[in-house]
Amino acid sequence: MSIVHVSDLHREYQQGAVTVKALRGVDLTIEPGEFTALMGPSGSGKTTLLNMIGALDRPTSGKLLVDGKDLASLSSSQLSDLRLHRLGFIFQSYNLIPVLSALENAEFVLQLQGMARDERRKRVRETLAQVGLAGMEDRRPGELSGGQQQRVAVARAIAGKPALVLADEPTANLDSATAQGLIELMEKLNHEHGITFLFATHDPRVMEAAHRVVRMVDGKVAEDLRK
């Protein structure tokens, strides 16, 4: 079963009198274990598409199945639950809670899932070690570098063992070497643990690493390349 199945998806925004057509009939299917990069010029609809798949926003029309569920039929609290239990998110930047330590940030999702404290702590320590942050559990985001912060975000995204991790330009604010490290980390997680990733990105290094590159133009899929 595919994790994501999108067909003829439209999303229009009303901006005053103008209707902005952000998505104009997208068709896309993502299978488990894929490591896919969405690319395309600015304004082509990458973020919009990720938000639809991430159940953060509703399409204007079209079919949208995530983890086998038709999102149109779910209530907003069911969508919350879907995000909490089945999806992981990594955003461009500043997406950690500044007053919580690395460990507390990473365990946030598990806490919401209602996992018992001891199990949670164990899981989070393992996950932080996986992303190379062993020993930095007690640091607050302000005491971590940008790359380390993104690693905490990755740990938070994967700690809950989601079916799909969505990442919107995760490397955009990182320097080249740090970005490379983060990409390798995600590749490793994909390779070793079979975690499915879907990126929106302009970063050529991400496209390099991706197994599949979907190019969007004007709110449509223009090219779908599997390596």
Binding site for Mg ion (CB under 5 A): 47
217 binds ligand ATP (CB under 6 A): no
109 binds ligand ATP (CB under 6 A): no
**With respect to ligand ATP, which residue has the nearer C-beta, 106 or 174?**
174
Alpha helices in the chain (DSSP H): 46-53, 76-86, 102-113, 117-130, 146-159, 176-193, 204-209
**With respect to ligand ATP, which residue has the nearer C-beta, 164 or 214?**
214
Among 16, 98, 114, 194, binds other proteins (CB under 8 A): 98
36 binds other proteins (CB under 8 A): no
Q: Are 80 and 114 in contact (CB under 8 A)?
A: no
42 binds ligand ATP (CB under 6 A): yes
**Cα–Cα–Cα angle for 103, 184, 157, rounded to 5 degrees:** 35
Q: Are 101 and 95 in contact (CB under 8 A)?
A: no
Query: Among ligand ATP, Mg ion, other proteins, none, what does residue 156 contact (CB within 5–8 Å per kind)?
Result: other proteins
**With respect to other proteins, which residue has the nearer C-beta, 2 or 92?**
92
Query: Among ligand ATP, other proteins, Mg ion, none, what does residue 95 contact (CB within 5–8 Å per kind)?
Result: other proteins
What distance in Å separates the CA atoms of residue 18 and residue 162, rounded to the nearest whole number? Answer: 38
Contacts of 167 (CB under 8 A, 6+ apart): 89, 90, 91, 157, 186, 197, 198, 199, 200, 201
Beta strand 4-15 with 61-66 is antiparallel
84 binds other proteins (CB under 8 A): yes
201 binds ligand ATP (CB under 6 A): no
What residue ranges bind other proteins (CB under 8 A)? 51, 54, 56-57, 77, 80-81, 83-85, 89, 91, 94-95, 97-100, 108-109, 112-113, 156
